[in-house]
């Protein structure tokens, strides 16, 4: 019989086998060491833990289910390492996903002129935000409902604050490699 420990991950509590917990701890430590001296390491690690918790919650079907080594290996394979490598080979299991990353609508604080609505819509739809700004202005001057639509979206659509939300806004999967690429882009600016 394997020993089970209670582990808090991303704000959720999970019952995990002791060996699986050790694998997860090793992965997180190795991940953190690969990040090095990045500016926002704690924010990236919070996003990683939140993503791990999200994956575990997708796979767990009852609140009393114990997370085993197999599931932790799948999570590690699905997340990858920040540099895109498979350096965590001791526990690596090939992962192939049939799910596509879903886009979510957020206001874009990085491409904001007034409220970030056009920047967020542009990232969500994959079009240039300037084109959307022009369309909203034309609609405003023609007396269309664009002012009210913009205002309602400004109130209802949340701001993309975390790197994970900014990746979701662009339809990119929240993986370690994508989070590190995003972090590198932000430090270049």
Q: Tell me the pLDDT tens digit for each residue of 75-98.
A: 877 777 665 555 554 444 443 444
Percentage of the chain modeled with pLDDT above 90: 0
Domain annotation covers residue 143: yes
Measured CA distances, 174 to 13, 92, 141 (Å): 21, 18, 40
**Same structural domain, 10 and 78:** yes
Q: Which residue do the tokens 């596509």 mark? A: 100
pLDDT tops 80 at residue 129: yes
Lowest mean pLDDT, pick from 16-30, 31-45, 138-152: 31-45
Residue 93 pLDDT: 40
Lowest mean pLDDT, pick from 41-45, 80-84, 125-129: 80-84
Query: What's the rounded Cα separation, in Å, for the pair 63 and 121?
Result: 37
**Same structural domain, 15 and 81:** yes
Domain annotation covers residue 180: no
pLDDT tops 70 at residue 106: yes
Domain annotation covers residue 173: no
First to last CA, the chain: 53
Residue 188 pLDDT: 62
**Same structural domain, 87 and 124:** no
Domain annotation covers residue 174: no
Give the total number of structural domains in the chain: 2
Domain annotation covers residue 172: no
Lowest mean pLDDT, pick from 18-27, 63-72, 84-93: 84-93
Q: What is the extent of the structural domain holding 67?
A: 4-97
Residue 184 pLDDT: 64
pLDDT tops 60 at residue 71: yes
């Amino acid at each position: 019989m394997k020993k089970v420990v209670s582990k808090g991950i991303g704000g959720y509590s999970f019952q995990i086998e002791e060996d699986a917990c050790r694998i997860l701890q090793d992965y997180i430590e190795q991940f953190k060491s690969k990040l090095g001296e990045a500016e926002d390491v704690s924010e990236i690690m919070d996003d990683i833990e939140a993503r791990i918790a999200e994956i575990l919650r997708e796979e767990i079907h009852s609140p009393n289910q114990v997370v085993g080594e197999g599931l932790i290996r799948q999570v590690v394979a699905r997340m990858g390492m920040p540099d895109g490598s498979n350096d965590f080979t001791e526990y690596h299991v090939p992962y192939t996903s049939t799910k596509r990353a879903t886009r979510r609508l957020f206001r874009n604080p990085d491409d904001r002129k007034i409220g970030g609505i056009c920047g967020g819509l542009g990232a969500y739809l994959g079009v240039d935000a300037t084109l959307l700004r022009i369309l909203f202005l034309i609609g405003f001057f023609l007396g269309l409902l664009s002012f009210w639509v913009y205002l309602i979206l400004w109130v209802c659509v949340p701001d993309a604050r975390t790197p994970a939300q900014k990746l979701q806004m662009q339809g990119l999967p929240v993986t370690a490699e994508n989070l590190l690429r995003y972090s590198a882009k932000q430090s270049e600016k």
